[in-house]
Structure 1
Amino acid sequence: MLESTSINQQYEQACRDNMRILIVGAGIAGITAAQLLRRYGRHPVLIERNKDKGHPGYMLALMPMVDQVLEDIGVREYYLQNSTALARFGFHAHTGKMLRIDPMDNILSRYGDYRGIARGKLIETLTNDGCNVSFSTTVTGINDSATGTTVNFITDGESYQLEFDLVIIADGIHSTTRELILGSNTVEMVDTKWGGWVDWTTEDTNMDLGEEIWGAGFFLGIYPVKGKLGVFLGGSHKDTKVGPASFVENVRRKLTIINPRMDSALRNVASSPNPYYWPLKDCRSPKWVFGRTVLLGDAAAGFLPTAGIGAGMAMESAWVLTRILQHSHLDTLAAQLQSYEQMQRPRVETAQNTSRRLARFMFHRSWTLAVLRGIAMKFVSVEAALKPIQNLLANKPNPDHIA
C-alpha cells in the first residue's frame, strides 16, 4: 500500500545511494519505476501532488509486456489473484447485435498473460510490500547545475529546495512538471472531442469476455476485472453534456438488442450519483530527455484507451528505464538516458499510433458510417487490428544489452 512519508525522510535515504533520484507522480508509471528501483537496491524519492491516493479511476486490460515487470517487483502471484483472464472479445453492431467473438487467448497467449484489473487494484498490487510517497507535494522549479539538478517544491504549504542527480517526471498526461522543462517545445495533443463515464456493474457468468458496441454517436465497453465488470459509456462532448441519465436514454433508443449485461451497465451509469468522466485525448512530447530529467508514462506519451495498451506501455517503459539505470553511473547517466529514449520512444509511439487509428475508426456520430463499419468488422478480426501491438510483443526490448 502507499505509505505517507515526509520528503525529508525519503531524501535522507536517497542521499545514501550513488544516485539521488526523484520521481514526480505516484500513478502507474511512477509507482512502477519507484518499486523497481527499490527492488534493485536504490531509494528514490516519490512525490504526489494529490493529498491522498486520489480517484481509483477505471478498468485496465494489461497485455503481456507487463509480465516481466511484475516478476521483477515480486508481485506476479498477487497480480494473478487480483485480476481476471481475458480470453474472448465480443464486437457488437451499432444496433446491439453481436457480430463476432474473437478468441483473445489464441492471439496473445503465445506472449504471456492478458488480464483485466481495476486501476486501484493494480496500484494495490504494485505496492503490496509498501511504497513510501510524499503526498501534497508539487514541483515549482527545476534547474540544472554543475553538481546536479536543483528542484523546488511546495509540500503542505512549505517550500523546499533539494538537489538530485536524476529527475523522472511521471505526473500524467496533463503534467505541470513537464511544462517547467519544455521551454519553447510544445506537446502534440489529439483531442477526439469525445468522453464518457466510467462505472461498475456486477460480475456474471462470462467473466472471460470483454464486449464493445461501436454505435452511431456512442461507444459502450464492458470489461471484466476481479469480482465485477468495468463499464465505459461515451460519446461526443456535444452529446454527453446532457448528463449520464439522459445520454443513456438516447443510447437505449438507438439499440434494437440489449442483452442483460448491457442493460445492467446502462442502468448503473444512469443511476450512479457521481460517475467518473474521462475526456478522450492523448499527448506526445517532442522529446523525452532534458539533461538529467526524463519523461515517463503519460507525461511522455499519454494514450487514448482504444487499444488497451497505454498502462502496459507505461509499465514497460518504467522497466526499460530502471534496467538501464542499473548499469548507470553519474558519468554515464546522460548517455544512458539518450539510449533509453532511442530504444523505447519508437515502441511507445507505434502503440500510440495504433490507438489513434482505432479512435478515428470508432468515434463517429454518423448512422451511415456505423452501418459500413459494422459490415467491415464482420471480416476484420481483432488479431488483424492489433497486428502492430503483436509485433511489439514479439520483439521485446533488451535494456541490459543497450546499457
Structure 2
Amino acid sequence: MAINEAIIIGGGIAGVAAAIALTKFNHFKVAVFEIRPEPATIGGAINLTPNALRYLEHLGVKPKLQLRGCEVNCIQVLSHRTGQPLGTVDFANIEPHALRVMRFDLLQAMLETLRELDVQVQYSKRLIAIEEDVERITATFEGGMIAKGELLLGCDGIHSVTRTKFIQPARKPEYTGVANAYSFLNIEDDVCDMLPIDTTSLYSGRHGSLLLSYADPAHRRLYVSAVMATADVGSREGWTVKRREQDALKADLVRRFGHPSLPFFETILQKLEAITLYPVYKLSESGVWSSGKMILVGDAAHAMPPQGESVGLALEDVILLSRILEHHQIKSIGDMFNCYDTMRRPRIDAAVKEANFGFETIKDRGWLGNIIMDWLTWFFLAWRQKRKSEEFSFDVRHNAIVFN
C-alpha cells in the first residue's frame, strides 16, 4: 500500500516539523492547515534539550537557530527559602548542549525551512468535517475548501479539533490549577551586574517556581517566568495582562517571590512592561492516538505540564513516524499506527507521569512542607542525574526498526 499524500492539521511546531520530515525524507505531497490567521506569537523562551537540537539538525532547522538563542550548559535549581543550590539539570557532558530560544524564533526558523521545500502553511482554515473511504481521507474547512490525502496528522495542540471532534471527543483538556506568568526584559549593565545566574536559574519555593534565563547569545534579553497556582479564569489561551491589572499581578508576584534570597527581584519586576499569563492544561495519561487514517502527534496526543522537554518529545513523535513510513512494509495504515503506538507509548507515559508529579510540587504549600520539599528536590535531582543524561542522549533515529 503506497502512501504519497498527507493532510496536516496545525501549523505550529509539531505540524511544521511533520511537514518538513514527510516532504524531505518520505517525499510526500503535504498540505498544512492552521486555524489562526498567522503564525502564533504567544509563548515564552523554551529550552531545547540536546534531543530536540539533534532532531532540528536532522530537519535542517538548527543552523538557523544558532544566532537566536542562548546556549545552556545546565539549569541551576535553588531553594527560594535559603537561596542555596539544590542541584542541577546538567547538559555540559552531552553534545549538543541545550539552547534557550524564543518559541516564535523557533517557529519562524521551521517555517523558513518548510518554504525552502516549497511548502506553505495555509492560514485561517477551520476544520469542520472529515470523511474517509477505502483509499482516501477528505478534510473540509469552513468556507467550503476541501483537501484530500491518504493520511491525516492532527498536530493541532492540546485543544485539538482533530481529537475532540473526530478521534476521542470525551478526552478533554484539564486545567492543572497552575498558570505561567512570563515576560522579557532587555537588561542594562546595572541589572546584569546584580543577577547571580550563569544562563538559567530555577528557584523553587512555597508559592511556585521562578525561572530566570537569558534568551539570546549576548545575555542581554532576560526571560522571567513564574509558575504558580492560579484560579481558573475561564480562558484556554494566553493573554497579555491589561495595564490596569499589571500592578495587582506584580504585587502578587512580590508576595510569592520577594525574599532576601532574591534581593534583585522587585527591581526586575518593576522594569517589566508586559506580562503574559498562560494557563497550563494537560490531558489524561491514557488516550486514543489514532483512528482510521488519522493520527495525533505532539500535544494533540499527549499534552503534559511543561517540564522543558515537550518540544523534544513532539519532534521525536514526528521523526519516529517518518521513519516508520520509510521502513514499514505497510499492509494497512492501522497496522502502521499500531506499530507507532507500541514503540512510542512507553516513553511518553513515563514523561507524562514525571511532568504531572513535578507540577503537583509547584502548588502552594506550608513552611514545613517547603523544607521537606527542598530536601526531596535535592535527593530527586541527585538520583535522576544519571538517568537524565541517558534520556538526553536518547535518539529515536537509532532505535532498531525492523519490520516484516
TM-score (norm. length: structure 1): 0.83
| Partner amino acid, structure 2, of 1:43 | K
Q: Distance in 2 between matches of 1:367 and 1:36?
A: 49
> Which one of the candidate residues 77, 93, 98 is aligned to 2:79?
93
| Partner amino acid, structure 2, of 1:110 | I
The reply to whether residue 194 of structure 1 matches residue 196 of structure 2 is no
Indicate conservation of the 8 Å contact 2:33/2:125, yes or no. Answer: yes
Query: Compared with structure 1, are the counterparts of its residues 351 and 243 closer, same or farther at alpha carbon in structure 2 (3 Å cutoff)?
Result: farther
| Partner amino acid, structure 2, of 1:396 | D
List aligned pairs for 1:132-281, cutoff 5 A: 132-154=120-142, 158-183=143-168, 186-187=170-171, 189-202=173-186, 204=192, 208-226=198-216, 227-238=220-231, 243-253=245-255, 255-257=258-260, 259=262, 262-269=265-272, 271-272=273-274, 275-281=275-281
1:245-292 CA-to-partner distances (Å, cap 9, x unmatched) read 3233234245332546634542245x42xx322112211461212111
Indicate conservation of the 8 Å contact 2:50/2:393, yes or no. Answer: no
Query: Compared with structure 1, are the counterparts of its residues 265 and 362 closer, same or farther at alpha carbon in structure 2 (3 Å cutoff)?
Result: same
Where 2:153 maps in the other structure, the secondary structure is strand
Q: What is the aligned partner in structure 2 of residue 342 from structure 1?
A: 342
Q: What is the aligned partner in structure 2 of residue 304 from structure 1?
A: 305
| Partner amino acid, structure 2, of 1:163 | K
Q: Report how far residue 383 of structure 1 moved.
A: 4.9
Q: Distance in 2 between matches of 1:324 and 1:104?
A: 32
Q: Report how far residue 381 of structure 1 moved.
A: 5.9
Query: Compared with structure 1, are the counterparts of its residues 90 and 18 closer, same or farther at alpha carbon in structure 2 (3 Å cutoff)?
Result: closer
Q: Distance in 2 between matches of 1:207 and 1:162?
A: 50
| Partner amino acid, structure 1, of 2:33 | I
Q: Report how far residue 55 of structure 1 moved.
A: 2.1
Q: What is the aligned partner in structure 1 of residue 333 from structure 2?
A: 333
Q: Report how far residue 329 of structure 1 moved.
A: 7.0
Q: Distance in 2 between matches of 1:64 and 1:88?
A: 11
List aligned pairs for 1:12-23, cutoff 5 A: 18-23=3-8
Range 52-61 or range 278-287, more displaced:
278-287
Query: Compared with structure 1, are the counterparts of its residues 387 and 168 closer, same or farther at alpha carbon in structure 2 (3 Å cutoff)?
Result: farther
Q: Report how far residue 188 of structure 1 moved.
A: 6.5
Q: What is the aligned partner in structure 1 of residue 47 from structure 2?
A: 61
Q: Distance in 2 between matches of 1:317 and 1:239?
A: 30
Indicate conservation of the 8 Å contact 2:158/2:173, yes or no. Answer: no
Indicate conservation of the 8 Å contact 1:239/1:247, yes or no. Answer: no
Query: Compared with structure 1, are the counterparts of its residues 357 and 268 closer, same or farther at alpha carbon in structure 2 (3 Å cutoff)?
Result: farther
Q: Distance in 2 between matches of 1:188 and 1:361?
A: 23
| Partner amino acid, structure 2, of 1:74 | G
Range 51-60 or range 251-260, more displaced:
251-260
Q: Report how far residue 182 of structure 1 moved.
A: 2.6
Range 232-241 or range 350-359, more displaced:
232-241
1:196-224 CA-to-partner distances (Å, cap 9, x unmatched) read 32211235477742112222223321122
Where 1:143 maps in the other structure, the secondary structure is strand
Q: Report how far residue 134 of structure 1 moved.
A: 0.4
Query: Compared with structure 1, are the counterparts of its residues 352 and 103 closer, same or farther at alpha carbon in structure 2 (3 Å cutoff)?
Result: closer
Range 199-208 or range 17-26, more displaced:
199-208
Q: Distance in 1 between matches of 2:385 and 2:294?
A: 33
Query: Compared with structure 1, are the counterparts of its residues 20 and 207 closer, same or farther at alpha carbon in structure 2 (3 Å cutoff)?
Result: farther
Q: Distance in 1 between matches of 2:59 and 2:326?
A: 14
1:291-313 CA-to-partner distances (Å, cap 9, x unmatched) read 111000000011211x2111110
Q: Report how far residue 363 of structure 1 moved.
A: 2.0
List aligned pairs for 1:115-126, cutoff 5 A: 115-126=99-110
Q: Distance in 2 between matches of 1:239 and 1:296?
A: 27
Where 2:342 maps in the other structure, the secondary structure is helix
Q: Distance in 1 between matches of 2:130 and 2:34?
A: 16
Q: What is the aligned partner in structure 1 of residue 33 from structure 2?
A: 47
Indicate conservation of the 8 Å contact 1:224/1:230, yes or no. Answer: yes
Residue segments in structure 1 that go unaligned for 5+ positions in a row:
1-16
Q: What is the aligned partner in structure 1 of residue 70 from structure 2?
A: 84
List aligned pairs for 1:284-299, cutoff 5 A: 284=284, 286-299=287-300
Range 294-303 or range 367-376, more displaced:
367-376
Question: Sequence identity, in percent?
Answer: 19
Query: Compared with structure 1, are the counterparts of its residues 31 and 162 closer, same or farther at alpha carbon in structure 2 (3 Å cutoff)?
Result: closer
1:338-363 CA-to-partner distances (Å, cap 9, x unmatched) read 21121112212211211111111222
Q: What is the aligned partner in structure 2 of residue 3 from structure 1?
A: none
Q: What is the aligned partner in structure 1 of residue 9 from structure 2?
A: 24
Q: Report how far residue 38 of structure 1 moved.
A: 2.0
Number of aligned residues = 376
1:156-178 CA-to-partner distances (Å, cap 9, x unmatched) read xx212332200000100011221
Indicate conservation of the 8 Å contact 2:181/2:277, yes or no. Answer: yes
Q: Distance in 2 between matches of 1:251 and 1:32?
A: 36
Q: Report how far residue 396 of structure 1 moved.
A: 3.3
Where 2:120 maps in the other structure, the secondary structure is strand
